[in-house]
Amino acid sequence: MNISACIFDMDGLLIDSESIALSVFQQTCDHYGIGHQKPLYQQLLGTNHETTRTILNKELPARINVEEFTEYWSEHYSALTSQGVPLMKGVDNLLTYLETMKIPKAVATSTQTERAIGKLEHSGIAHRFSFIIGGDQIVHGKPAPDIYLKAADALSIEPSHCLGLEDSPNGVKAALSAGLNVIQIPDTLQPNEALLSLGHTVLDDLDAVVSLLQSHQ
């Protein structure tokens, strides 16, 4: 594995935020009286604001105003995450390893850039990345490859020499489409057979990524 740079997703990969997002999403669904909607939430994993709105416009009952729905969800999510979100297992270990090996790092997240920077600052790791690319910086969100291509370009590294780390199916598809070497660390959604057939590596946590990279030194 010839890796010259590493590009990270954020939610559910660096910070333990997906369980909070799911809980608040279900709270929002209950508020609007539409019951259990975890399958709908899973469609939204890894998507940017515009793609999320497109899916919600298609899937929510016509009586629901999508803008009001997303605003309610966003406000309650922000209230729970404004003081910082715990890091996922192995984050510090992997970042330290990459820094020791002088491998540059970037974040490619569907979250809007300003909000992503704030979340990473509150979690204490924003300064450890050369670039933070948010979903508002590209036209086509995940599963399109745009955000990973932009991150690789910012790092001045060919995508084929970048490692992409993801938790969601949409993110995996985006990184693979961009030509990255991809490792998935599943969080709230395990990969199905169709996703596994794409041929990427699946590991339990970021500590396992360190072990894999060390074995290829």
What domains are there in the chain, each with its CATH number? 5-16+85-215 (3.40.50.1000), 18-81 (1.10.150)
Quick one: CA torsion of 107, 109, 114, 115, rounded to 10 degrees? -120
52-72 exposure pattern, b = at least 16 Cβ within 10 A, e = fewer: bbeebeeebeeebebeebeeb
What is the pTM assigned to this prediction?
A: 0.89
Return the H-helix or E-strand segment holding 56.
helix 49-59
Q: Which residue has the tokens 């997906």?
A: 18
The string of DSSP letters for 150-194 reads: HHHHHHT--GGGEEEEESSHHHHHHHHHTT-EEEE--SSS---HH
Going 191 to 195 to 201 to 206, the CA torsion angle's sign is negative
CB-CB contact of 88 with 127 (8 Å): no
**Residue 2, pLDDT score:** 80
Task: Calculate Rg over the CA atoms of the chain.
Answer: 17
**Residue 80, pLDDT score:** 87
Residue 147 tokens, joined? 């955000």
**What string of pLDDT tens digits covers the 217 residues of the chain?**
789 999 999 999 999 998 899 999 999 999 999 999 999 999 998 888 888 999 999 999 999 999 999 999 999 998 888 778 899 999 999 999 999 999 999 999 999 999 999 999 999 999 999 999 999 999 999 999 999 999 999 999 999 999 999 999 999 999 999 999 999 999 988 999 999 999 999 999 999 999 999 998 7
Q: Which residue has the tokens 């016509």?
A: 62
CB-CB contact of 116 with 17 (8 Å): no
- Amino acid letter, residue 169: P
**131-138: Cβ within 8 A, 24+ apart:** 131/106, 131/107, 131/155, 132/106, 132/107, 133/106, 133/107, 133/108, 133/109, 134/109, 134/110, 135/48, 135/49, 135/50, 135/109, 135/110, 135/111, 136/48, 136/49, 136/112, 137/113, 138/48
